[in-house]
Structure 1
């Protein structure tokens, strides 16, 4: 069990607090946000402290950190907080729902994996990844750092997902496919071949759009 500081006070942080409280051995002790967004000093009955000074309130030697943020700016916002908290000396927890199905998979730190995800054998997941509810993650795959799956995504077997990728609801990815760095797969898109870095893919079968993903999301 760890005493945990959560980054944020919006929906995702509130959900993280709920899941950690009701479905883990961890104890949430506080929230933290950047000073410019610090409007209240309490959330969910717990203190809210400025992120710029969080280590003076909650020493990294005694507390762990969790930053379960959205995929905005192609996961770069979440990466920034993750790296800054790491530079402060914090270790991170990951939350994996007791209602997810795993098979001894290797999963990194600061991951937020919700209910009804199936992660088949021999698939590895990196650091700072979010898998919202109800995804199928196929066997013998690799998901690298700073990736976001929404819900009901089907990632078939032997796929490689490079960092900063984002998958919309009901996206489908064919087996043995490589999803290049920063790929945005739109909702209901069907990927049948390797993607290009920072591409946006829509449709079934999916086609690449002319605008890069970092200008879309």
Structure 2
């Protein structure tokens, strides 16, 4: 793919490495470097590119020529990623987005800035997605639904039609939300949680770890060592 834009990735963790791969192999962006807070600066380069202190990022990358993506996950209910996003914007940098070429996004869906949408996502007609949203692999966002700013949707979640997901919410793997449901702001949905009615703001919905059966697996399946 022809590279027509440049991007610096904020962060140097696993998500930053994945973001580097996605931007490099499946976008018009050339990654030119990484940036972290000086207190967490533990290396000078990653993938042969410079890692520079965020406090001095303007010395290394011109905001007129380089955009940014803050590759941080859902730490502090997405506040950490949001802080980096807002700080970079305050320095004059424009936010970049990544939309996988293998994601299906209906033409009239509306996507905000600074979004990261992985492969195999399905975004249906009339969906609205806010700013600073991450959709990891394989999610379904149903028609007329709204995902507000600063959310993180992990893999294989189903958000049905006419739903609203409030700001800063995290939705865990294999969770499902029924039609016409409003998820309050600052909600945390664990793995495999099913939501059938509206939720209040600032709620945690835990997934329960099942207790192991009293019989051993090897004995049950007659497996010999």
TM-score by length of 1: 0.92
Distance 1:43 1:118 in 2: 32
Choose which of 94, 97, 100 in structure 1 pairs with 2:100: 97
Shift of residue 108 of structure 1? 1.1
Contact 1:184–1:199, Cα closer than 8 Å, also in 2 = yes
**Does 2:22 align with 1:25?**
no
Runs of 4 or more, structure 1, over 3 Å off, are: none
Shift of residue 20 of structure 1? 0.6
**Does 2:182 align with 1:178?**
yes
Shift of residue 42 of structure 1? 0.7
Distance 1:98 1:67 in 2: 20
Matches for 1:1-12 after TM superposition, within 5 Å: 1-12=4-15
Query: Match for residue 115 of structure 2?
Result: 111
Distance 2:71 2:161 in 1: 26
- Which string of whole-angstrom CA distances, capped at 9 and with x for unpartnered residues, describes residues 124-155 of structure 1? 10110000000011000111100000101000
Change (3 A) 1:35 1:203: closer
Distance 1:85 1:189 in 2: 34
Shift of residue 202 of structure 1? 3.2
Distance 1:161 1:72 in 2: 18
Contact 1:68–1:110, Cα closer than 8 Å, also in 2 = no
Choose which of 64, 68, 72 in structure 2 pairs with 1:65: 68
Contact 1:68–1:111, Cα closer than 8 Å, also in 2 = no
Q: Secondary structure at the match of 2:137?
A: coil
Based on CA coordinates, which of the two structures has the bigger radius of gyration? 2
Distance 2:113 2:47 in 1: 24
Matches for 1:139-178 after TM superposition, within 5 Å: 139-178=143-182
**Does 2:115 align with 1:132?**
no
Distance 1:33 1:138 in 2: 36
Shift of residue 96 of structure 1? 0.5
Distance 2:77 2:125 in 1: 27
Shift of residue 203 of structure 1? 5.3
Shift of residue 77 of structure 1? 0.5
Unpaired segments ≥5 residues, structure 2: 209-225
TM-score by length of 2: 0.89
Query: Match for residue 87 of structure 1?
Result: 90
Query: Match for residue 120 of structure 1?
Result: 124
Distance 1:109 1:203 in 2: 31
Q: Quote the RMSD (CA, aligned, Å).
A: 1.1
Distance 2:207 2:119 in 1: 27
